Amino acid sequence: MAEAYPELPANDGRNTSNSAEFPDAPRRAGPLMFGPVAIDPPLLQAPMAGFTNYAYRQIVRQFGGVGLPATEMLCARSFVWQDAQRAEPPERLWGVLDEPRPLAVQIWDNDPQVLAQVGSRLAREFRVSVVDLNFGCPVPRVAQRAQSGSYLLQDPERLGRLVECVVRACHPTPVTAKIRLGCRPEQITCCEVAEAVEQAGAAALTVHGRTARDLFRGQADWERIAAVKAHLRRIPLIGNGDLDSAAKAVAAFRRYPVDGLMIGRAALGRPWLFRQIQAALAGQPIPEEPSAELQRELLLHHFELVVQRFGAEKGTMLMRKYACCYAQGRPGARQFRSQVARVASPADFRNVVARVFPKGRPTACVTQTAEPPNAETERARP
């Protein structure tokens, strides 16, 4: 996919040149209510383990356009264990106490009491806006060894009981669930699970349009996400999977009966994507991508936030993967990836970044990712 790096900063609201407009963007893209919590715009940042920590969330908030940021998933059992050892709160709760709201914290486990206990603490002590339950994780450590995450999709009744327990423990803080279509293509359970989740008192449901067995292969199946809508009477449905441009987000709202969208991978290196989608949904000009120089500053700012928290050595290691996201689609990205994979110190990191995001040099200008909703866009599968 071609990406643009024109010279104007994103999110300044003045940049209309060269921007596509969506004059008849769908009305449905209004604020959502998760119980008492308003999600405005109806755009959710996907929880992503290893990525969506406080540093990333601060950057996403800085650009705006996100209705609900989310933490990485947190193992409820580990939280309880760490607590018993009188250790610090889990690393993944970094920033949660101080961060602006709304904010969702995601937890996983298969024990109703443990989930309820942790959910209740998050709601009361940490005062999070939303407690999200992970029923989509396909990684063996979670789904097979711990029989949690996507493993639970094969038993909608049990899953419903888990949700019910957490809802009761967290009240009035809303509890939401994030699922995949099912465990495997021949066992699609999302509609039964949706009914169980709603009946259990959850405030919203997010569906990633793949099964656990698919991992990230193939395309997200938005027809199956849409089919879930008929099984929900009260709570909003959030669609998730493969949205990587404002055009695809608008197309998703147009074509499918979803109430909100969740964006994950595409916004890791392009945290301004939420703001672009927000503008497109409101029928406003889409802010252009920041210049390469601004992106470089942003990446270095992100680096500083991570190094401040984790120290020079660990921070540099952690930033290797983020830096690859920022470089994606840029000239020299492949070389950058191989170089950044070897950096061991902040000085190395800054040197490698300086080579791919050169300071003050004009940058290649390529096509803006968001397009008007013409026939081409209408065909685009989100």
Ligand X SMILES: Cc1cc2nc3c(=O)[nH]c(=O)nc-3n(C[C@H](O)[C@H](O)[C@H](O)COP(=O)(O)O)c2cc1C
Contacts of 328 (CB under 8 A, 6+ apart): 269
- Which runs of consecutive H residues, i.e. helices, occur in the chain? 54-63, 76-84, 112-124, 140, 156-170, 190-199, 222-228, 246-255, 273-281, 292-310, 312-327, 333-340, 346-356, 375-379
CB 190 within 8 A of CB 228: yes
Cα–Cα distances (Å) from 215 to 103, 107, 124, 206, in that order, read 26, 20, 34, 17
CB 210 within 8 A of CB 340: no
State in angstroms the smallest separation of the CB of 356 from ligand X.
22
State in angstroms the smallest separation of the CB of 160 from ligand X.
18
Closest Cα to residue 381, out of 259, 281, 251, 257? 251
* Catalytic site includes residue 75: no
Q: Closest-CB residue for ligand X?
A: 264
State in angstroms the smallest separation of the CB of 230 from ligand X.
22
| CA 273 to mean position of chain CA atoms | 11
The residue whose two tokens read 């206990």 is 117
State in angstroms the smallest separation of the CB of 220 from ligand X.
6
Contacts of 300 (CB under 8 A, 6+ apart): 350, 353
Cα–Cα distances (Å) from 233 to 36, 202, 204, 379, in that order, read 18, 12, 11, 29
- Residue with Cβ nearer ligand X (8 or 324): 324
Out of 137, 170, 191, 325, the active site residue is 137
CB 103 within 8 A of CB 134: no
Tell me how far apart the alpha carbons of residues 130 and 328 are, in angstroms, rounded to a whole number. 32
- Residue with Cβ nearer ligand X (208 or 229): 208
The residue whose two tokens read 């002590």 is 125
State in angstroms the smallest separation of the CB of 358 from ligand X.
29
State in angstroms the smallest separation of the CB of 136 from ligand X.
5
The residue whose two tokens read 């991508």 is 289
- Residue with Cβ nearer ligand X (266 or 292): 266
Query: b or e along 259-293 (b: 16 or more beta carbons within 10 Å of the residue's beta carbon)?
Result: bbbbbbbbbbbbbbbbbbbbbbbeebbbbbbbbbb
- Residue with Cβ nearer ligand X (231 or 265): 265
- Residue with Cβ nearer ligand X (209 or 290): 209
- Residue with Cβ nearer ligand X (289 or 293): 289
Q: Give the SS3 label for residue 175.
A: strand
State in angstroms the smallest separation of the CB of 7 from ligand X.
28
Pairing of strands 43-45, 37-39: unpaired
Catalog residues that contact ligand X under the rule CB under 6 A: 46-51, 72-73, 106, 134, 136-137, 178, 208, 240-243, 263-266
Residue 64: half-sphere exposure toward Cβ, Cα within 13 Å: 11
State in angstroms the smallest separation of the CB of 139 from ligand X.
9
- Residue with Cβ nearer ligand X (73 or 353): 73
CB 193 within 8 A of CB 158: no
- Residue with Cβ nearer ligand X (48 or 281): 48
- Please identify every residue annotated as catalytic: 137
